[in-house]
Amino acid sequence: MYDRAALLAQLKIDEGVRLLPYRDARGNLTIGIGTNLDAGITEPEAESLCYSRIAAAETALAQSVPWWRDLDDARQMAVANLCYNMGINTLLEFKNMLAALHAGDFDGAADDLLASKYATQVGARAQRIAELIRTG
């Protein structure tokens, strides 16, 4: 079996590494190391990307909201979902919701989330997340 790491190194040289979408020589929307987005991605690729983004959200939460790991699993998932969706900087703007969560006022935190512009933008998603926050 050939060395996959060596192939990756070659492909980085040949394809380049582009972290933002661009059009390749044939006009295909491309990203990463020659990944043609016009051709779509597989579900395993989508899940791999999602897991990578989940890890980034968890790292951001650990740095900015370290107490989030003290919440029960369902509420941790709710906070991680919010961070994944809106990013840590926007999540940190939800000061009242975060303060209520930290204080154990889960009804207040859920109510604050549902009263936000975010809730009107994402609809059912906010309802599901608020229910996780409310009931654990």
User: Residues 48, 33: one domain?
Assistant: no
The three-state secondary structure class of 42 is coil
Residue 104: what pLDDT? 98
User: Residues 97, 80: one domain?
Assistant: yes
Under 8 Å between Cβ of 72 and 65: no
User: Residues 26, 77: one domain?
Assistant: no
User: Residues 33, 60: one domain?
Assistant: no
Residue matched to tokens 């044939």: 26
Q: Sign of the CA dihedral 111, 113, 117, 123?
A: negative
User: Residues 109, 47: one domain?
Assistant: yes
Mean pLDDT of the chain: 97
Domain count, the chain: 2
- Domain membership of residue 82 as a residue range: 43-135
User: Residues 121, 56: one domain?
Assistant: yes
The string of pLDDT tens digits covering residues 76-99 is 999 999 999 999 999 999 999 999
* pTM recorded for the entire structure: 0.87
